Amino acid sequence: MKCTRCRATANVEVRRHRSAFCAGCYPGWFREQVGRTIQHGRMFRRDDRVLVAVSGGKDSLALWHVLKTLGYQADGMYIRLGIADYSRRSQAKSEAFAAKHGLTLHQVDLKAEYGFEVPDLLDTRSGKPCAACGTVKRYHFNKLAADLGYSVVATGHNLDDEAATLFGNVIHWQTDYLGRQGPVLESTHPKLVRKVKPLYKLGERESAAYAIIERLDYILEECPMAKGAKSLAYKDLLNRLEEQQPGAKYRFLTGFLKQGRAALGAQPIPIQLGECAVCGQPTTAAVCAHCRMAERGRRKAESKALKYGAS
């Protein structure tokens, strides 16, 4: 197998494009794909301040690395979720990356600032810690970006993530989510920052290949609290299909974005937003989901502390 560009021995195959690249050519191809996605999707401009949601994993660190290499103004943000040793290692990876490349990394410490951690939320959302964790992360990425004047929040969601989310929304006919799914989520309130996904056309293996070739030190394991998540099962099913039909995930996702939403009539439903009575962030309720969840999490954390403190 030869490199599509220089005809040297290829190291990375991209089957859906019927192409392959050597270690010297691949990073440039990867960065070109991200750059085109940003430009074609009008995600942000050169003069925009971008906040990258960082987890310590391959996708977010690869995205941050690409944006800085391409010359964008990109800082990072990491949330200390308190998921035992996994969080400690992912935090260390994020901090080491920022230090090595001379980048700014903002951090939010849930325990110190809000009195709870994600494991305290395990029973607060019908036993679905990933849903609770997602609410926490979305809230803080948006809040910090708005507070510090960033134009946009960029996340490392890749093709596998987006195709799995779409698959789940389709089989359950979540038309409200289908209407909102896409690589750009525009601001609909002065305190909401635009959200973008510059890696949505690139697969998980492609991000991993970029990180390995560029020697980005990232955390390898999945979050232990994600065990049993439906999204992992959806990814497994789609990966089997991809093996038989290269490009199936890409066609599924991009076909939906280009034609599926209109055919299904899946349009975003206008939502009237107010401001949370506790924190002032945009919400459809009197008190936002994050503040309600945080209160339950604090009570559980305090109860746990009393229990173990008395024993």
Residues of the chain with pLDDT under 70: 123-129, 265-270, 308-311
The predicted pLDDT at position 132 comes to 84
CA distance 159 to 33: 13
Closest CA to 190 of 142, 153, 136, 154: 142
Q: How many domains is the chain built from?
A: 1
Residue pair 213/23 in contact (Cβ under 8 Å)? The answer is yes
Q: What is the predicted pLDDT for the residue at 305?
A: 79
Output the domain CATH number for residue 248: 3.40.50.620
Q: Could you tell me whether strands 282-283 and 184-185 are parallel, antiparallel, or unpaired per DSSP bridges?
A: unpaired
- Cβ atoms of 265 and 254 within 8 Å: the answer is no
- Whether 62 maps to a domain, the answer reads yes
Whole-number pLDDT of residue 309: 63
Is position 21 within any domain?
no
Which residue segment(s) compose the domain that 63 sits in? 26-219+243-270
What is the pLDDT at residue 5? Answer: 97
Does a structural domain hold residue 7? no
What does pTM read for this prediction?
0.92
Question: Would you say residue 91 lies in a domain?
Answer: yes
The Cα–Cα gap between 307 and 311 comes to 6
Within a domain: 299: no
Query: Can you spell out the DSSP letters for 217-264?
Result: ----SPPGGGTT-HHHHHHHHHHHHHHHSTTHHHHHHHHIIIIIHHHH
Helix (H, G, I), strand (E, B) or coil at 30: helix
Report pLDDT digits (tens) over 24-56.
999 999 999 999 999 999 999 999 999 999 999
